[in-house]
Amino acid sequence: MKCLVKHALVGGLVCFAAIAAFSSSHSSASGADQEVLEADRALVRLLSLGDKASPQDYLALDELLDEDFTWIDSNGKSLIKPEVLKNFPVLANPDVGLQEHIYGRSAVVRANRGRAQVMRVWARRASGWRLMLYQEVTLVVKSEPPVADGAGISDCENPCKDIPFHPETPSEQEVIASWQGVMRAMAHKDADAYAPLIAEEFTATDTHHDRAYSKADRIEQINKQKQSGVQSVPPPLVSARMFDFGDTVMMIAREQRANAKAYFNTRMWVKREGRWQMLFSFNTRIE
C-alpha cells in the first residue's frame, strides 16, 4: 500500500490513521454509507487546511484521491490529482449538509446551497473509498433558452449516430448506446423513448438553467418543444473519458453548444432490470 511505502519518509502511522476509519475491508450495506461519509468528512477537513497542511496531511489527501481523479471548479477549470496535491484548491460549500447515495461500488455526494451546486463521486477500490470527481456548478439567475438549429434533427450526426470516442468495456459500450438513445429522443422530441432510459431519481444540473431539472421536468420540456415546433439538436461531443465501476458507469464529457462556450458534462448510469439508466447530468461551462 502506497501509504506504508511512505512511512519511512514522514510517518506512515499518521497516514494510516487518516484513512483507517473508512477502510472497506469489513463494510456492510449500511456500513458503506458511513464509510463514504467519513471519507468525505476527511476530505473536507484536509482541503480546509490550505497552505497550513502538513506533510502528513498531503499524504492523507493523496490516499483519498483516486489516480484518475478530476477537479472541475465553477469556472470550468480542470485539475488532475498532482495539481490538487501541489496546491490545495478551495472547497465550495464545505459546511453544507450532505445528500449521499450508494450505488454498489460508487457513491454520489451532493453539497448544494442556493445557486452553488457541488457533487463528489467516490469509487470503492480494493484499498477503500477513493474520490474520482469533484465538480462545481453555479446556476444562472435566469434559465437560458435552448439553442435553436434551423437545420433540424437531420444534423444530429454527433452525438446521435457517431461520436469521436470509443468505449472500452462492454458496459461502457452499452452505456454509450443508451446515451445516444437519449440524445435521439431529445432530438426527435420523443418523450416515450426518453423516459425508459432515465432513472426516476434523475437530476440535470447545469450552468444554462436556474434550477436542477427532474425527470418529470425534462419530459415536460420535451413535450412543450414538440408542441411548439422548436427545433434544436443536442450539442456535439468533443471528447470524453469513461469509468466502469461495475454497478455504474461515469462519463466526463466535453461538449460544445453552437455559438456558445464549451462545457464539461458529467453523467452517470446505473443498470436496472437489464437496462442502463442515466442517474444525473451535471455540467459546468468553461469560462
User: Which helix (H) or strand (E) element contains residue 123?
Assistant: strand 116-125
Q: How many of the other CB atoms lie within 10 Å of CB of 160? A: 22
pLDDT of residue 10: 39
**Structural domains for the chain:** 2-138 (3.10.450.50), 152-285 (3.10.450.50)
Cα–Cα distance between 126 and 59 in angstroms, integer?
Answer: 18
Query: What are the per-10-residue average pLDDT scores of the chain (287 residues)?
Result: 40 41 41 93 96 96 98 98 96 94 97 96 96 97 70 74 97 98 96 98 94 97 91 90 97 92 97 97 96
- Is there a contact between 276 and 169 (Cβ–Cβ < 8 Å)? no
Q: How far is CA 130 from CA 18, 123, 133, 208, 269, in A?
A: 13, 5, 9, 30, 19
Relative to beta strand 128-138, strand 116-125 is: antiparallel
pLDDT of residue 27: 38
- Is there a contact between 203 and 213 (Cβ–Cβ < 8 Å)? yes
Q: How many of the other CB atoms lie within 10 Å of CB of 189? A: 21
- Is there a contact between 23 and 128 (Cβ–Cβ < 8 Å)? yes
Please give the grid coordinates belonging to residue 81. 490529482
pLDDT of residue 146: 67
CB burial string 110-146: b at 16+ within 10 A, e below: bbbeeeebbbbbbbbeeebbbbbbbbbbbbeeeeeee
Residue 237 β-bridge partners: 255
pLDDT of residue 147: 61
**Helix extents (H) in the chain:** 2-5, 7-10, 12-20, 29-48, 55-64, 81-86, 170-187, 191-194, 215-228
pTM over 0.85: yes
